[in-house]
Amino acid sequence: MQREGCRMSGGVQEPAAAGMITLDDLDNMTDELGSDSAYNSNGSIEEETEPMEDGEQDRLLNYWQTVARGHQVEVPNEMAEPIHQLTRNRAEERQSVPFLLMSCKEKCGEVVYEKRQYGKARWACIKMNEERYEQSICMGFMKLMRYICEQNSSGQYLGMTIPILTTVHTDEARNGLTRSVTVAYYIPNHLQEDPPQPTDQEIIIEEWPSTVVFARPFSGATNEESIMREISLLAELLESPDLCLQDTFIIAGYTNPAAANRRNEIWFLQRP
């Protein structure tokens, strides 16, 4: 696997695909095991009221392994501690990626799309190219989980940030998505100047330049069909879609994908 950067501005050389199943698995995992969910019915954060009991780490791992098998993914036993720690810290406030709202198009009181500027920032990126989109997303996010949960040069838990981004590319005919996936995690604000280095050499800390995006919200699943549909919808709504990259798009995942009010966005990237 080539360990390249994954710039928002179109610097991604390899195509990518999407499907944010890993946050779905993580949240379902604690809900079905009886733990307090970090999300309420509106997708916002609630406090975790009870500590993890003895044996919970094994139960969480077993549940994650069961869910992953449904996506033809094997979760190794070494994921027990990262899963445990990320779940234990779900009550924390998840830091949002900062941006400047440049304009907003509305219709009947609802946001059609927003034009935003994201500043220069550092992201942890992992590229995957598995046979199935779900495999690439799940395996890529597991690697990022290890980085977030102490497998870094600081040896500290870094904290979750939102959204988790997935960079996707369309094929030459623009009829579907290509197979490769780039999953990206925003380095928390207090670590931006000196990010802890990953122990996994496949994870790259990349500085993305300031970028203008057109963001449209959507709900439901993030699979190839829904992503292609959202790309077509936003292309029809934009006044000048030709000013954006034509084969590179980003899926942003914010909330528990299993929630009734699940929140996702499709991002078009303005040409640099």
Tens of pLDDT, residue by residue over 188-231, are: 999 999 999 999 999 999 999 999 999 999 988 777 888 899 99
pLDDT band for position 74 (50/70/90)?
Answer: confident
Q: What percent of the chain shows pLDDT beyond 90?
A: 40
pLDDT for 2 equals 38
Mean pLDDT across 110-137: 89
Mean pLDDT across 4-30: 43
Instruction: Say if residue 82 is preceded by a cis peptide, omega within 30 of 0.
Output: no
Category of 72 on φ-ψ map: left (φ > 0), alpha (ψ -120 to 50) or beta? left
Given a cut of 60, whether residue 126 has pLDDT beyond it is yes
pLDDT for 88 equals 67
Given a cut of 70, whether residue 29 has pLDDT beyond it is no
Element (H, E) at 266: strand 264-270
pLDDT for 147 equals 93
Whole-angstrom distance, CA of residue 148 vs CA of residue 141? 10
Whole-angstrom distance, CA of residue 127 vs CA of residue 125? 7
pLDDT band for position 92 (50/70/90)?
Answer: low
Mean pLDDT across 34-56: 42
pLDDT for 102 equals 97
Task: Report the predicted TM-score, pTM, of the whole model to 2 decimal places.
Answer: 0.76
Please give the residue that has the higher pLDDT: either 74 or 260.
74
pLDDT for 235 equals 95
Given a cut of 80, whether residue 12 has pLDDT beyond it is no
Category of 174 on φ-ψ map: left (φ > 0), alpha (ψ -120 to 50) or beta? left
Q: Determine contact, residues 117/212, Cβ cutoff 8 Å.
A: yes
pLDDT band for position 89 (50/70/90)?
Answer: low
Mean pLDDT across 58-65: 75
Given a cut of 70, whether residue 80 has pLDDT beyond it is yes
Whole-angstrom distance, CA of residue 17 vs CA of residue 136? 8
Whole-angstrom distance, CA of residue 123 vs CA of residue 199? 15
Please give the residue that has the higher pLDDT: either 37 or 163.
163
Mean pLDDT across 115-122: 97
Mean pLDDT across 255-259: 49
Please give the residue that has the higher pLDDT: either 173 or 55.
173
pLDDT band for position 113 (50/70/90)?
Answer: very high
Domains and CATH numbers, the chain: 94-270 (3.20.80.10)
